[in-house]
Each structure stands twice: as structure tokens, then as C-alpha cells.
A = this chain, B = another copy of it.
Amino acid sequence: MAAAGWPGCARSLRGVVLDMCGVLYDSGEGDGVAIPGSVEAVKKLKESDLQLRFCTNETQATREKFVAKLQRLGFDISVSEVFSPAPAAVSVLKERALRPHLLVYDGVIPEFDSVDKTNPNCVVIGDAAENFSYQNLNEAFRVLVGLEKPVLFSLGQGRYYKETDGLKLDVGVYMKALEYACDLKAEVIGKPSPTFFQSALNDMGLQPHEALMIGDDLVNDVGGAQHCGMKGVQVRTGKYRPSDERHPTVTADGTVDNLAQAVDMILSQRR
């Protein structure tokens, strides 16, 4: 934990926001595996005087199914503590009376059950994986070009992620594709959007400077949180790469080996 500012920040801290995949667990066959020490680290945070929320860009399952998986891995987590893009999108759609055409993973569709999807006047894309077919992309494109004011929402803007059978393209890549096709700029819902971090802060009743984000993604977790006025710490697990520590534009407020080490340092500095 080399960066300055960290100890002072830890003392005045009132809340912690955790990324999930790559911080709590690694995905893979079945439920994946918990990262060593992370189950206990979450437990310690819950027993402390700090508030705790989880911010994930997971969009392949409903929050209910996703949280059930984490619980099977041993984590003490409830649905109300988890912030993910699909429910955030539902709020935005309802606020703005928008009816989406969805290009998302089948597993996340139930999150949109309460939304009117007839005669769509916007497009929502998530990490649709195999659903990113030529035909489905053409269909989303036709909806957008048919609108007088095309609106595209992207649930995150990741480039790629790793699964057991190799690297897979993430939603950001298809967001860029549709942006170019329609000559528009998508609205990103999820990390690194400041609005998304703010919703977790609002839920805790905290100001940005009172909260710390811990994630494995330097740009979307650490940089996103910093943009919002929070501190951001990167763990050397998940998608961390050594080159992150000399990134041209984003510098973490601290870099630690894993969540267990981060939590031990936070709690020891508060005694």
C-alpha cells in the first residue's frame, strides 16, 4: 500500500464499496471459486462500524440469482446491498418514460419485467454474449436508426473478460459498434459512471470523500470511483495486471495483494 493519503482516508472512512468478480471470487466452472481470505474479509467489514455495499457490472443474471451464487460460495451478502446495472437501468427507463428494445443475456431479462417494452423508443445493451449475433445487432441498429432521437444505453463499457474457455468480448465493444453505426454516444449505466457509484453512496447516506472503493479493474472501479470523489484501491487479484501500476491516466490511492490485506489495513488504521 504505497500511495499517500491512504491512512488519513482510512481513519475518516464511513463506508466501503466492493467490486465483486475478481475481488470476492473468480468466475469459472459452475459458481467459480472464492478468492482466499475474501469471505472472512467481508465478515470483518460487516462486524466493523463501516457501512458496506457491493457494486458490480454483472449483467448475465438477476441480482437474486447472482447473490444466491455468492451465498453458496460462503459470502454473507443480501440482494439489497448489491448495486448492478440492470436495476439502475430500470430506474432510468421509468424516470424518462422510455420503452427499451433489449439486447442482453437471457438470464437478466427478468430484471426488466416491470418495464413496458412495446413499440420501443430506446435500446439497452448488456453483456449479451452469444446473443450478440449479426441478426440481433442489425435489429438493435434498425430500432435506433428508426428513432428521431436515438437513445442507446450500455450496461457497462468493458472491453473483454476471461472465462475458462478463453477471452470474451464484453458489452463496451458492441456499444462502440452501435455508436459508430448510428453516429451517437451511448449512455453508460454501471461502472465507471459516477451516477452509479452515487446511487450506492446515497443508499449509505454518505458523501464521496467518506467512502472507499476496492476493485480489480483500474479504470472502471478505481478511476470511476475517483471521478465520483471517492478513494479507489486496486487489488492484485482478478483482472489486475502489473502494467496497471504505471497506467498513464489512472493512479490508485493504494494497491494491495488482495481484499483480505486491504480490509486488515483499513481496520488496523482505525483502531
Contacts and interface: CB of A to CB of B under 8 A. Distances in A.
A140 to B, nearest CB: 9
Contacts of A129: 134
Nearest to A180: B176
Interface stretch (A77-85, A160-168, A195-203): A160-168
A138 B168 contact: yes
Given A133-B133, A176-B176, A138 B169 contact: yes
Instruction: Decide if the interface of chain A is mainly helix, strand, loop or mixed.
Output: helix
27 contacts: A130-B134, A130-B135, A132-B134, A132-B137, A133-B133, A133-B134, A134-B169, A137-B169, A137-B173, A138-B166, A138-B167, A138-B169, A141-B160, A141-B167, A141-B169, A142-B167, A145-B160, A145-B167, A159-B181, A159-B183, A160-B181, A169-B177, A172-B181, A173-B177, A173-B180, A176-B177, A176-B180
Nearest to A137: B169
A138 B181 CA distance: 20
Contacts of A183: 159
Given A138-B169, A159-B183, A173-B178, 18 more contacts: A129-B134, A130-B134, A132-B134, A132-B137, A133-B133, A133-B134, A134-B169, A138-B166, A138-B168, A141-B160, A141-B167, A145-B160, A159-B181, A172-B181, A173-B177, A173-B180, A174-B177, A177-B177
A220 to B, nearest CB: 14
Contacts of A181: 159-160, 169, 172-173
Contacts of A178: 173
Interface residues on A, range: 20 to 34
Contacts of A169: 134, 137-138, 141, 177, 181
Contacts of A135: 130
A129 B135 CA distance: 9
Interface string A139-155: 00110010000000000
Q: 10 closest A-B pairs (Cβ-Cβ)? A: A176-B180, A177-B177, A132-B134, A173-B177, A173-B181, A176-B176, A159-B181, A130-B134, A173-B180, A142-B167
A96 to B, nearest CB: 26
